[in-house]
């Protein structure tokens, strides 16, 4: 039974496949007509025979293509398939040779050099080779289209994986952050309604950007920075003077694209795991270095011993998203020096799915 899921992408690629096969058939017809002219030495006789014989050849070629598509769909030329190709090609060659012999008798082409046994054998070999070449072309084009369809399926799977990871990352938004933000808004309403409204507005900006990522997994740095600033304002309202964030982005970096919500988890990680003395300072620096986008998120603290990775943030999730969006062009690492921890992100070029 033909795998319908496998055949669907092939059906989408059929226009290119048909054009290539049509071109091959046109070449075969041209070669065969030229061969008739050479054999008969008369253009009129050659064209007359061709007008009657070429439809037979084309019909057999299309019949072979139909058999290959239905009975051998998805197959490549293997030792198991090769005898079938040779057998079908020989059968088609026998039919054409017999048809040519009948035409010779009907039109009394006594000067036909294929009238004798040797001539008929030569014609049989000629048409056998023609149909073998045609069969190889059919299998080769189908194989190429199958590989193209496989690449398209892989690309679709990667896109689905990126969307799934983005949705999973969105679900990783610290529920305590949302709860504490809403609780803080509720506490501020009686005595400081303006502050409560500001917190609510910042929370709405951040959540709107988060939800927009469902349909648009790629955003500009300007939009990402706006949502990140809103997130920081909500956190600052929660922690007051105990948190001092610094967000610095160069103007030339603003139009660049990157995966939505890629930076927020790094900042959340810094706030959650940063050393809390009197004041927790978190610095986010975003700049361009040639064609590469560089992001540095720095906070006071230390890294846990090897094998005791940080929890509460999907660092592996971030790395896999970078690998999908920037294959071979993205780097991410955590560094610790002089009592400071720095998350370093370097992204070269635009993400693969950027508009």
CA distance 199 to 205: 10
Distances (CA, A) of 186 to 178, 181, 193, 236, 278: 12, 9, 9, 16, 26
Structural domain count, the chain: 2
Are residues 194 and 310 located together in one domain of the fold?
yes
Strands 243-249 and 280-289: parallel
Are residues 181 and 156 located together in one domain of the fold?
no
Helical H segments across the chain, by residue range: 4-40, 43-71, 82-106, 117-171, 175-191, 193-212, 221-239, 264-273, 315-325
Are residues 340 and 192 located together in one domain of the fold?
yes
For residue 314, the model assigns a pLDDT of 60
Is the residue at 333 inside a domain?
yes
The residue range of the domain holding 293 is 172-348
Distances (CA, A) of 146 to 17, 128, 140, 158: 11, 27, 10, 18
Q: Which of 44, 97, 45, 91 is nearest to 67 (CA)?
A: 91
CATH of the domain at 339: 3.30.565.10
Are residues 327 and 201 located together in one domain of the fold?
yes
Q: Which of 142, 163, 184 is the last residue of a domain?
A: 163
CA distance 196 to 188: 5
Is the residue at 355 inside a domain?
no
Is the residue at 353 inside a domain?
no
Is the residue at 217 inside a domain?
yes
Are residues 66 and 152 located together in one domain of the fold?
yes
Is the residue at 354 inside a domain?
no
Is the residue at 337 inside a domain?
yes
Is the residue at 11 inside a domain?
yes
Name every residue whose Cβ is closer than 8 Å to that of residue 19 and which is 6 or more positions away in sequence. none
CA distance 204 to 150: 42
Would you state the structure tokens that stand for residue 87, as one six-digit string? Answer: 């057998």
Strands 340-348 and 257-259: unpaired
Are residues 279 and 310 located together in one domain of the fold?
yes
CA pseudo-torsion sign 184, 189, 195, 196: positive
Q: Which of 129, 163, 197 is the last residue of a domain?
A: 163
Predicted TM-score (pTM) of the model is 0.55
Are residues 195 and 331 located together in one domain of the fold?
yes
* Longest Cα separation, the chain: 113
Is the residue at 325 inside a domain?
yes
Are residues 93 and 203 located together in one domain of the fold?
no
Are residues 136 and 281 located together in one domain of the fold?
no
Could you read off the pLDDT tens digit of each residue along the chain, which spans 355 residues? 334 434 444 444 455 556 766 777 777 777 777 776 666 666 666 666 667 777 888 888 888 877 777 755 555 666 777 887 888 888 988 888 888 777 666 555 544 555 556 767 877 888 888 888 888 887 777 777 777 777 777 777 777 776 676 666 556 566 667 777 888 888 888 888 888 888 889 888 888 887 776 677 788 999 999 989 998 998 888 888 899 999 999 999 999 999 888 888 888 888 888 887 788 999 999 999 988 999 999 999 888 776 555 544 467 778 878 888 888 899 999 999 988 999 999 999 998 866 6
Are residues 151 and 275 located together in one domain of the fold?
no
Residue recorded with tokens 């995966």? 259
Q: Output phi, psi for 322, to 5 deg.
A: -65, -40
Q: Which of 163, 184, 210 is the last residue of a domain?
A: 163
Are residues 102 and 221 located together in one domain of the fold?
no
Are residues 153 and 182 located together in one domain of the fold?
no
306: left (phi over 0), alpha (psi -120 to 50) or beta: beta
């Amino acid at each position: 039974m033909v795998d319908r899921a496998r055949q669907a992408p092939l059906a989408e690629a059929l226009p290119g496949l048909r054009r290539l096969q049509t071109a091959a058939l046109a070449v075969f017809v041209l070669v065969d007509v030229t061969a008739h002219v050479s054999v008969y030495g008369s253009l009129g006789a050659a064209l007359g025979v061709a007008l009657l014989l070429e439809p037979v050849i084309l019909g057999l070629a299309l019949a072979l293509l139909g058999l290959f598509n239905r009975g051998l769909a998805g197959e490549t030329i293997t030792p198991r398939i090769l005898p079938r190709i040779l057998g079908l090609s020989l059968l088609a060659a026998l039919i054409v040779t017999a048809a040519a012999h009948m035409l010779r008798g009907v039109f009394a082409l006594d000067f036909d050099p294929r009238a004798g046994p040797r001539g008929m054998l030569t014609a049989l070999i000629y048409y056998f080779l023609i149909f073998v070449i045609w069969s190889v072309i059919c299998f080769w084009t189908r194989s190429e289209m199958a590989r193209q369809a496989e690449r398209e399926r892989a690309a679709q799977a990667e896109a689905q994986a990126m969307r799934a990871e983005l949705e999973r990352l969105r679900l990783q938004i610290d529920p305590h952050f949302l709860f504490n933000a809403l609780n803080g808004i509720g506490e501020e309403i009686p005595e400081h309604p303006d502050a409560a409204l500001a917190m609510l507005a910042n929370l709405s900006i951040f959540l709107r950007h988060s939800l927009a990522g469902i349909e648009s997994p790629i955003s500009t740095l300007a939009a990402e920075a706006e949502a990140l600033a809103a997130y920081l304002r909500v956190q600052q309202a929660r922690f007051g003077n105990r948190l001092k964030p610094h967000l610095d982005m160069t103007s030339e970096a603003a139009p660049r694209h990157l995966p939505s919500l890629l930076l927020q988890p790094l900042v959340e990680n810094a706030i959650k795991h940063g050393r809390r003395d009197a004041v927790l300072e978190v610095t986010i620096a975003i700049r361009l270095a040639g064609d590469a986008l560089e992001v540095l998120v720095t906070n006071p603290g230390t890294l846990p011993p090897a094998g005791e990775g940080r929890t509460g943030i999907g660092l592996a999730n971030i790395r896999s998203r970078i690998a999908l969006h920037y294959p071979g062009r993205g780097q991410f690492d955590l560094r610790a020096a002089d009592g400071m921890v720095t998350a370093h992100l370097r992204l070269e070029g635009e993400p693969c799915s950027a508009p």
